[in-house]
């Protein structure tokens, strides 16, 4: 109790004492009469706003208008406010939506379980190896992620060593019994989640590292002085202070993973297609652009809702 | 997004051409090489992109010429004589502005083709001896790009430009029969000037009056192939897959079977297995075939639907048996000599990929010169020997019989009359059928 209070107390002190607070408060007051000063922030925002409009707002509007069109290639498409497309894609493809979110959630959880100890070690225990280890976390990006995903196809192959070890140790019969595998690893949900976890692991590790590295070791010493053991110190000091990293990392993992289709395509089978695969097929094979646009928008809205709820729940407003 | 699939296949193709076996390719040590090749792909990509923009710029500088009516008019008369479905297309193409042909002054040509679909140099995979000889002979410099991996995806790529009346990157590209037919109907490809292609006399007579382009006004065959069942005996445990029915229902193959994303191949073979004719079938028969395929998917018999990326899994043994294209399997045998190929007793599909010239290209004459060049038996023999598909050029077998008797004897490359008698094409679909069948087939593969 006291430890937690100390932690929160100090962090709030830090916040008010931080550079942003006073400066932001003082800015408008002192520069009030000067018009150009007041506009400066908007000028500074201009490039970002332009980029946002050109690369986000306009495409989204195009997407929205496409989703309400009907027609075909020969006759052309026109907006007919055909809202039924949304109902159609939802009734037809809800399993793919559920699967996407389930796989993305699983991958996010596994990535967190792997990345937290990793980031903790790099931030707190690595000493002079810190930079080397950080470089190693980023190193996979030097190779195309397609190549890396294809590599898993070799590693998990039916005749590969991973499968033969799993079979000889009896692990495979356990996972088979659980319905996770079926005598093979490749072309199963396990392989897809593994691919997602692997590909997004650095996106989880780096935010975690940044927030863990910022934590003042003196806080942990203080918790020790207040009779917290190591576990209590972690749970009441380190974990709450690392929450911004956890939230950032989970968002950076979950959002792209939910829309991913490459891992499914390379590592999955026909039985576990995700939303991304459906959009790919609708847009490029079936050329049903309205349905593809509707799918994309539904996915976007669903992610926004999930993320909003999550951020509210985890109360990051206070922690960031 | 088409990118991964295309990249993936391109990477595999490049690696294969570079003489690395697919199995060693990803074993860690291969990673550096793979990355280098990927980088090479990237460079190649930008190269073709740059050339496309220059084509665009030059054509706009020439402006839309008033001689536009000439090719459109000739196409109309051509269509009138053939009296086929091409009639609708010529009216469509007449409305599209054309550009003046600058082939005589601008000796370049952009050719888009499928991966591994042409001869390669012994040491350098990006070197194509027949193309080099062509450049030497005619002075026409060819930019050869392997960016067609899937008919639908390539269509999705060129459709925005062509439907907006803008030229595409390629002056010549290769697509499968039904897609060629669709492009002809849309009026997006130009009629060929047969006077510039005297070697047309070497075309296999059976290919002269194909249903989608009677008299070959708009397209000419590049290569043909059969779709049958490839198998890896080691993964099958001594079994042999003889029929589509066995492929779809034999539970010992569960999860080790792949089918093709090309609807006409997968559905075509299933229709044949059910005793129907893929060249002429009803909606009910199509539904029955889909039900049979769906049952196999539900039973988890089917691992995946693939393009020619079944290659890796088949050689490695992850795939025990799959639908596959003849030329691929002949080539893959070099990696794994045990691979077997079965043409089902009930029948199999025969398809062709066709050279077409898109509208608005300023290099049509160059394209026709190139087509004429590849219709020489001696040149076709060089290609046939490398790609192992069925050549449309009469006289190729005789040339190869002297140079490479083994290839000349292979019935998968030079099918005899008995083999061809059981090979079927696929019926032409109207846009409504096309849409319904594609949607049903996509649902089958989980999307």
- What is the value of ipTM here, to two decimals? 0.76
**Residue A88, burial from CB neighbour count under 10 angstroms (0-12, 13-18, 19+):** middle
- Please work out, in degrees rounded to the nearest 5, the angle formed at the alpha carbon of residue A22 by the alpha carbons of A19 and A25: 130
The DSSP bridge pattern shows strands B257-260 and B302-306 to be parallel
- Cα separation, B129 vs A117, in Å, equals 56
Residues in B closer than 8 angstroms to A281, CB to CB, are 442, 445, 447
> Can you read off the two tokens belonging to residue A79?
């907006």
* Chain B residue whose CA is closest to A280: B1
The DSSP bridge pattern shows strands B209-210 and B219-231 to be unpaired
Average pLDDT over residues B362-382: 96
Q: Is residue A249 part of a domain?
A: yes
CB contact under 8 A, B297 and A184: no
pLDDT at residue B5, as a whole number: 47
Q: Is residue A247 part of a domain?
A: yes
CB contact under 8 A, A143 and B302: no
Q: Which of B38, B303, B438 is facing A147, going by the closest CB pair?
A: B38
CB contact under 8 A, B26 and A282: no
CA of B140: how far to CAs of A150, A257, B104, B268, B356, in Å? 38, 47, 10, 40, 18
The DSSP bridge pattern shows strands B219-231 and B348-356 to be antiparallel
**Residue B147 contacts residue B155 (beta carbons within 8 Å):** no
Is the CB of A260 inside 8 Å of chain B's CB atoms?
A: no
Mutate which: B160, B296, B447, vs A, most A CBs within 10 A: B447
Is the CB of A154 inside 8 Å of chain B's CB atoms?
A: yes
**Of B106, B93, B61, B72, which Cα lies nearest the Cα of B367?**
B106
Q: Is residue A240 part of a domain?
A: yes
pLDDT at residue B86, as a whole number: 37
Q: Is residue B116 part of a domain?
A: no
Is the CB of A184 inside 8 Å of chain B's CB atoms?
A: yes
Q: Which of B1, B35, B235 is facing A280, going by the closest CB pair?
A: B1
- Cα separation, B358 vs B172, in Å, equals 7
Is the CB of A60 inside 8 Å of chain B's CB atoms?
A: no
Is the CB of A175 inside 8 Å of chain B's CB atoms?
A: no
User: What are the tens digits of pLDDT across the range A4-45?
Assistant: 443 333 344 344 444 444 444 444 444 445 567 788 888 999
CB contact under 8 A, A187 and B35: no
Question: Where residue A301 sits, what CATH number does that domain have?
Answer: 1.10.3720.10
CB contact under 8 A, A74 and B186: yes
Q: Is residue B407 part of a domain?
A: no
pLDDT at residue A178, as a whole number: 87
pLDDT at residue B98, as a whole number: 65
- Cα separation, A119 vs A112, in Å, equals 10
CB contact under 8 A, B317 and A284: no
pTM of the model: 0.77
Domains held by chain A: number: 1
- Cα separation, B71 vs B357, in Å, equals 12
pLDDT at residue B141, as a whole number: 96
Mutate which: A158, A192, A273, A290, vs B, most B CBs within 10 A: A158
* Chain A residue whose CA is closest to B316: A159
CA of B317: how far to CAs of A159, A165, B230, B363, B430, in Å? 7, 18, 12, 45, 39
Q: Is B343 left (phi over 0), alpha (psi -120 to 50) or beta?
A: beta
User: What are the tens digits of pLDDT across the range B237-274?
Assistant: 889 999 999 999 999 999 999 999 999 999 999 999 99
User: What are the tens digits of pLDDT across the range B280-332?
Assistant: 999 999 999 999 999 999 999 999 998 878 988 899 899 999 999 999 998 88
pLDDT at residue B59, as a whole number: 36
* Residues of chain A predicted below pLDDT 50: 1-32, 319-320
Mutate which: A143, A156, A286, A299, vs B, most B CBs within 10 A: A286
Q: Which of B5, B31, B300 is facing A271, going by the closest CB pair?
A: B300
CB contact under 8 A, B255 and A159: no
- Cα separation, B72 vs B86, in Å, equals 12
CB contact under 8 A, A270 and B312: no
Q: Is residue B432 part of a domain?
A: yes
Mutate which: B3, B4, B88, vs A, most A CBs within 10 A: B4
Question: Where residue B331 sits, what CATH number does that domain have?
Answer: 3.40.190.10
- Cα separation, B109 vs B172, in Å, equals 8
User: What are the tens digits of pLDDT across the range B319-352?
Assistant: 999 999 999 998 888 888 999 999 999 999 999 9
Stretch (H or E) spanning B84: none
Residue B62 has pLDDT above 80, yes or no: no
Residues in A closer than 8 angstroms to B442, CB to CB, are 281-282, 285-286
Of residues B2 and A74, the one with the higher pLDDT is A74
User: What are the tens digits of pLDDT across the range B82-129?
Assistant: 333 333 333 344 445 568 888 889 999 999 999 889 999 888 888 999
User: What are the tens digits of pLDDT across the range B195-221?
Assistant: 999 999 999 998 999 889 999 999 999
CB contact under 8 A, A146 and B7: yes
SS3 of B341-403: the string is EECCCCCEEEEEEEEECECCCCCHHHHHHHHHHHCCHHHHHHHHHHHCCECCECCHHHHHHHH
Q: How far is A105 from chain B (nearest CA, A)?
A: 21
Residues in A closer than 8 angstroms to B297, CB to CB, are 270-271
- Residue where the block lists tokens 């992109």: B49
Stretch (H or E) spanning B168: none
Residue B443 has pLDDT above 50, yes or no: yes
**Residue A235 contacts residue A261 (beta carbons within 8 Å):** no
**Residue B371 contacts residue B222 (beta carbons within 8 Å):** no
Interacting residues of B311 by C-beta distance below 8 A, sequence separation 6+:
B12, B16, B22, B328, B332
> Can you read off the two tokens belonging to residue A21?
């607070």
Is the CB of A225 inside 8 Å of chain B's CB atoms?
A: no
SS3 of B306-349: the string is ECCCHHHHHHHCCCCEEEEEHHHHHHHCCCCCCCEEECCCCCEE
Q: Is residue B93 part of a domain?
A: no
CB contact under 8 A, B318 and A183: no
Q: Which of residues 113-152 of A touch B (CB under 8 A)?
A: 142-144, 146-147, 150-151
Mutate which: A273, A275, A284, vs B, most B CBs within 10 A: A284
pLDDT at residue B447, as a whole number: 74
Q: Is residue B202 part of a domain?
A: no
Q: Which of A96, A184, A285 is facing B255, going by the closest CB pair?
A: A184
CA of B401: how far to CAs of B19, B203, B204, B398, B414, in Å? 27, 19, 18, 5, 11
**Residue B210 contacts residue B231 (beta carbons within 8 Å):** no
Domains held by chain B: number: 1
Of residues B52 and A19, the one with the higher pLDDT is A19
CB contact under 8 A, B446 and A262: no
Q: Which residues of B275-294 are buried (b: 16+ CB within 10 A; e: fewer)?
A: ebebeebeeebbebbbebbe
Q: Which of A150, A159, A182 is facing B300, going by the closest CB pair?
A: A182
> Which range of residues forms the domain containing residue A251?
2-7+85-319
Q: How far is A110 from chain B (nearest CA, A)?
A: 24
Q: How far is B59 from chain A (nearest CA, A)?
A: 26
CB contact under 8 A, A285 and B8: no
Q: How many CB pairs under 8 A join A and B?
A: 122
Q: How far is A151 from chain B (nearest CA, A)?
A: 5
pLDDT at residue B116, as a whole number: 86
Residues in A closer than 8 angstroms to B303, CB to CB, are 187, 269-270
Q: Is residue B200 part of a domain?
A: no
CB contact under 8 A, A287 and B156: yes
- Please work out, in degrees rounded to the nearest 5, the angle formed at the alpha carbon of residue B275 by the alpha carbons of B272 and B279: 50
Residues in A closer than 8 angstroms to B5, CB to CB, are 265
Other Cβ atoms less than 10 A from the Cβ of A80: the count is 12
Q: Is residue B95 part of a domain?
A: no
Q: Is residue A119 part of a domain?
A: yes
Q: What is the mean pLDDT of chain B?
A: 81
Q: Is residue B132 part of a domain?
A: no
Residues in B closer than 8 angstroms to A280, CB to CB, are 1-2, 447
Q: Roughly what angle, to the nearest 10 degrees, separates helices A84-120 and A239-259?
A: 140
Q: Which of B23, B305, B442 is facing A286, going by the closest CB pair?
A: B442
Weakest-pLDDT range from A245-254, B33-42, B101-110, B357-366: B33-42
Residues in A closer than 8 angstroms to B312, CB to CB, are 153
**Of A107, A261, A272, A109, which Cα lies nearest the Cα of A182?**
A272
Residues in B closer than 8 angstroms to A181, CB to CB, are none
């Amino acid at each position: 109790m006291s430890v937690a209070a100390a932690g929160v107390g100090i962090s709030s002190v830090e916040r008010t004492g931080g550079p942003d607070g006073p400066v932001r408060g003082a800015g408008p007051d002192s520069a009030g009469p000067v018009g150009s000063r007041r506009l400066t922030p908007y000028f500074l925002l201009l490039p970002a706003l332009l980029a946002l409009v050109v690369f986000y707002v306009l495409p989204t509007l195009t997407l929205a208008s496409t989703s309400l069109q009907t027609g075909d290639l020969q006759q052309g498409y026109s907006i007919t406010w055909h809202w039924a497309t949304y109902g159609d894609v939802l009734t037809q493809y809800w399993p793919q939506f559920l699967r996407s979110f389930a796989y993305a959630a699983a991958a996010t959880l596994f990535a967190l379980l792997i990345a937290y100890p990793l980031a903790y070690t790099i931030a707190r225990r690595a000493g002079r190896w810190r930079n080397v280890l950080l470089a190693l976390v980023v190193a996979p990006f030097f190779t195309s992620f397609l190549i890396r995903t294809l590599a898993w196809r070799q590693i998990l192959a039916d005749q590969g060593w991973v499968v033969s070890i799993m079979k000889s140790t009896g692990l495979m019969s356990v996972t088979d019994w659980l319905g996770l595998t079926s005598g093979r690893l490749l072309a199963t949900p396990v392989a897809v989640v593994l691919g997602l976890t692997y590909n997004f692991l650095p996106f989880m590790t780096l935010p975690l590292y940044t927030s863990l590295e910022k934590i003042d070791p003196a806080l942990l010493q203080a918790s020790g002085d207040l009779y917290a053991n190591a576990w209590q110190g972690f749970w009441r000091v380190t974990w709450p202070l690392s929450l911004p990293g956890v939230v950032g990392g989970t968002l950076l993992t979950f959002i792209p993973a939910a829309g991913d289709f490459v891992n499914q395509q390379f590592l999955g089978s026909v039985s576990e297609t995700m939303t991304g695969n459906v959009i790919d097929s609708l847009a490029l094979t079936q050329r049903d652009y309205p349905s593809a646009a509707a799918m994309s928008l539904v996915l976007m809205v669903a992610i926004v809702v999930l993320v909003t709820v999550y951020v509210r729940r985890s109360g990051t407003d206070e922690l960031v | 997004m088409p990118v991964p699939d295309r990249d993936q296949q391109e990477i595999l193709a490049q690696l294969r051409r570079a003489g690395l076996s697919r199995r060693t390719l990803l074993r860690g040590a291969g990673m550096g090489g793979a990355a280098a090749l990927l980088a090479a792909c990237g460079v190649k990509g930008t190269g073709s992109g740059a050339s496309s923009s220059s084509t665009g710029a030059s054509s706009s500088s020439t402006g839309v010429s008033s001689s536009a009516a000439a090719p459109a008019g000739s196409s109309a008369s051509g269509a009138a004589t053939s009296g086929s479905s091409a009639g609708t297309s010529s009216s469509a193409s007449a409305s599209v502005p054309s550009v003046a042909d600058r082939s005589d002054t601008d000796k370049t040509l952009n050719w888009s083709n499928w991966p591994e679909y042409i001869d390669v140099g012994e040491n350098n995979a990006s070197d194509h001896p027949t193309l080099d000889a062509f450049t030497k002979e005619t002075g026409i410099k060819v930019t050869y790009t392997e960016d067609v991996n899937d008919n639908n995806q390539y269509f999705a790529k060129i459709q925005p430009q062509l439907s907006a009346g803008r030229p595409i990157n390629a002056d010549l590209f290769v697509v499968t029969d039904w897609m060629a037919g669709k492009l002809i109907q849309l009026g997006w490809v130009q009629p060929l000037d047969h006077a510039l292609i005297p070697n047309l006399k070497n075309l296999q007579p059976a290919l002269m009056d194909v249903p989608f382009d009677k008299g070959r006004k708009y397209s000419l065959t590049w290569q043909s192939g059969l779709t049958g069942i490839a198998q890896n005996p080691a993964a099958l445990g001594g079994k042999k897959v003889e029929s589509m029915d066995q492929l779809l229902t034999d539970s010992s193959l569960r999860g080790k079977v792949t089918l093709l994303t090309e609807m006409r191949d997968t559905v075509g073979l299933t229709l044949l297995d059910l005793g129907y004719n893929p060249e002429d079938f009803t909606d009910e028969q199509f539904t029955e075939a889909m039900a049979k395929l769906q049952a196999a998917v539900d039973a988890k018999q089917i691992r995946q639907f693939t393009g020619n990326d079944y290659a890796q899994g088949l050689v490695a043994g992850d795939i025990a048996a799959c639908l596959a294209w003849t030329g691929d399997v002949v080539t893959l045998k070099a990696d794994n000599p045990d691979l077997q190929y079965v043409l089902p007793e009930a029948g199999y599909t025969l398809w062709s990929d066709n050279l077409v010239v898109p509208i608005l290209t300023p290099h049509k004459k160059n394209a026709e010169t190139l087509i004429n060049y590849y219709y020489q038996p001696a040149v076709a023999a060089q290609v046939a020997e490398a790609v192992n598909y069925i050549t449309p050029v009469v006289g190729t077998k005789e040339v190869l019989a002297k140079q490479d008797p083994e290839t000349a004897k292979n019935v998968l490359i030079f099918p005899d009359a008995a083999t061809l008698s059981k090979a079927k094409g696929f019926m032409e679909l109207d846009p409504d059928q096309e849409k319904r069948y594609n949607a049903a087939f996509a649902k089958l593969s989980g999307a």
